[in-house]
Amino acid sequence: MHAEQKGFPGIGRILIYILLGLVALYYLMPLYVMLTTSVKTLAEIRSGNLLDLPMSPTGAAWAKAWSGACTGVRCEGLAPFFWNSVVMVVPAVLLSTLLGSLNGYVLAHWRFRYSEIVFTALMVGCFIPFQVVILPMARLLGMFGLSNTTSGLVIVHIIYGVAFTTLFFRNYYVSVPEELVKAARIDGAGFFMIYRRIIFPLSLPIFMVCFIWQFTQIWNDFLFGVVFGGSDAQPITVALNNLVNTSTGIKEYNVNMAAAIIAALPTLVIYLIAGKYFVRGLTAGAVKG
C-alpha cells in the first residue's frame, strides 16, 4: 500500500506493461524480419534463419530496389514510380481536403433546402466499393483525354476522397458554436470572410486528420493505379507488385523486402510524426459545445 503511494507501480500495472510489450514485439516482428532480410545477401538468406541478425550488412538490395536493373519483364527500379506517387498524392490530398472543408462548412453552418439530402447523397460515396466506379471513371477520363495520366489519377482520388473529407469536416464543424457564425453574419461578414477568420483557424486538428487519412488511402491504393495509370504514370504500389512478381528464376527476397519498405516508408513516417494529431483530431469534434 505504501509502495504504491510512493509511486511504485502495482502488480496489475506491471502485468499490463508486460502484456503491451509482448503485443508490441509481436506486431514489430514482421518489420524486424523485413529490415534484416533487406540487408542480407541471398546466400545468407538461404543458409540462415529469418530471425538471425545479418552477418555482413549490405545496402546492395536497397540500391537495386530503388534504381533497378532487375532482369525479366520489368527492369526498372522504384525511383520513377515513387515520384509518380508523390506527384499524384500531394495535389490530390490538398484539393480533396480543401473541398471537404468547404463542403463541411456549408453543410454545418449554411444550411439550405435539402441540405440533409445532399449530405446523405455525399455519404453514400463513402460506402461505394472501388470496383463500382471503375467503368464510369474510365469513360469520364477518356472523354477529357486524361486516360493513363497522373492528372487523371489525381482527379479520381479527389472525387472519391471528397465524400470522406466532407464527412470529417462536417462532423467537426458542427461542434463550432453557431453563435460565432451568426454574430459574424450580423456584422456583415460574408461566406469566405467567416471561413477565413473564424472556421479555418479552428480547423488544424481536423485538417491533420484528413491529410493523414487521404495520404494513406491514396499512397497505398493499388486498384485505381493499375486501372487508370499508364506505363509512365503508375504509382509505386503497382511498381512494387511488378517487381515482386517478376519472373527471374531466382527470387531476390532481399530486394523485395527493401522495395516493400521503400513503398511503405512515407506512410510510416507520416504516422510517426503526426499520429498524435490524428487521434486528437478525431476526438476534437466528438462533443458539441
Can you give the pTM of this predicted structure?
A: 0.84
Residue 94 φ then ψ, to 5°: -65, -45
- The pLDDT of residue 8 is 54
Say if domain 79-284 classifies as CATH 1.10.1740.10: no
pLDDT in tens, the chain (289 residues): 454 455 556 788 889 999 999 999 999 999 999 999 999 988 888 887 888 888 888 888 999 899 875 444 444 689 999 999 999 999 999 999 999 999 999 988 887 888 888 888 888 878 888 888 888 888 988 898 888 899 999 999 999 899 999 999 998 998 888 888 888 888 888 889 999 988 999 888 899 889 999 999 999 999 999 998 887 888 999 999 888 887 566 788 889 999 999 999 999 898 888 777 777 766 665 554 4
Quote the CA–CA distance of 38 and 54 in Å, as a whole number: 9
* CA gap 219, 161 in Å, rounded: 13
DSSP 8-state symbol, 202: G
Q: For the chain, give every domain's residue range.
A: 2-58, 79-284
HEC profile for 14-71?
HHHHHHHHHHHHHHHHHHHHHHHHHCCCHHHHHHCCCCCCCCCCCCHHHHHHHHECCC
Beta-carbon contacts of residue 44 (< 8 Å; ≥ 6 apart): 54, 55, 56
- pLDDT at residue 96, rounded to an integer: 95
How far apart are the C-alpha atoms of 182 and 195, rounded to whole Å?
Answer: 12
Single out the residue of 265, 267, 256 nearest to residue 64, CA to CA. 256
CA distances from 114 to 130, 159, 264, 281 (A): 27, 22, 42, 28
Task: Tell me what pLDDT residue 177 has.
Answer: 85
**CA gap 267, 208 in Å, rounded:** 14
Burial of 42: CB neighbours in 10 Å, binned 0-12, 13-18, 19+: middle
Q: Report the alpha-carbon distance of residue 115 to residue 98 in Å, rounded.
A: 19
- Name the nearest CA neighbour of 64 among 237, 243, 246: 243
pLDDT at 210: 92
* Rounded Cα distance, 221 and 244, in Å: 17
Closest CA to 259 of 76, 90, 41: 76
Q: What is the Cα Rg of the chain in Å?
A: 24
- How many Å from the N-terminal Cα to the C-terminal Cα in the chain? 41
User: In degrees rounded to 5, what are phi and psi of residue 76?
Assistant: -115, 150
